[in-house]
Amino acid sequence: MALERTFSIVKPDATRRNLTGAICKMLEDGGLRIVAQKRIQMTQAQAETFYGVHKERPFFGDLVSFMTSGPVVVQVLEGEDAIARNREIMGATNPADAAEGTIRKTFAESIEANSAHGSDSAENAAIEIAYFFAGCEITG
């Protein structure tokens, strides 16, 4: 197993319901360390660039609107196999498909308002971390 870093977002549906702490606890209880974190209001330009890979998808406009509808908490998580581990802790994108005990099964309201984002690969983790954090803001 390798020590990795991944990028995470506590989404607006979760910050609105004051679930940031509950979600952080699930991440920490799952073996991940929060090595950087900040609460921000994402701009439309930031959301469009961040989700640029989904630009042609029918849900892109709604996704950008949702991600800019309230504050989010962006995070860098560190741990053994952190990318896969975080995705296990979050559960499937659609809460209807997510396993019991996962963040999305427990908290998500819909496939869009699904409470958490996590990088899907090492390559994207590096891109997403660099998009929101300077190296000096990350400390293990």
Residues with active-site annotation: 117
Question: What sign results for the dihedral spanned by CA atoms 38, 84, 55, 53?
Answer: positive
Q: Residue 39 is inside which H or E element, if any?
A: strand 33-40
Residues 87-106 that bind ligand CMP (CB under 6 A): 93
- Kindly state whether residue 68 participates in binding ligand CMP, applying the rule CB under 6 A: no
Closest CA to 66 of 50, 81, 53: 50
Stretch that binds ligand CMP, among 37-45, 71-79, 95-103, 109-117 (CB under 6 A): 109-117
User: Which of 14, 114, 129, 132 touches ligand CMP (CB under 6 A)?
Assistant: 114
Region of 113 on the Ramachandran plot (φ > 0 left; ψ -120 to 50 alpha; else beta): beta
Residue whose CB is less far from ligand CMP, 37 or 93: 93
Q: Which residues neighbour 92 within 8 Å (Cβ) at sequence distance 6 or greater?
A: 98, 99, 102, 104
What does the alpha-carbon distance between residue 47 and residue 67 come to, in Å, rounded to a whole number? 7
- Kindly state whether residue 63 participates in binding ligand CMP, applying the rule CB under 6 A: yes
- Kindly state whether residue 109 participates in binding ligand CMP, applying the rule CB under 6 A: no
Residue whose CB is less far from ligand CMP, 59 or 131: 59
Q: CA 35 → CA 20, 21, 23, distances in Å?
A: 15, 15, 15
- Kindly state whether residue 131 participates in binding ligand CMP, applying the rule CB under 6 A: no
CB of 94 to ligand CMP, least distance (A): 7
Binding residues vs ligand CMP (CB under 6 A): 54, 59, 63, 93, 111-112, 114, 117
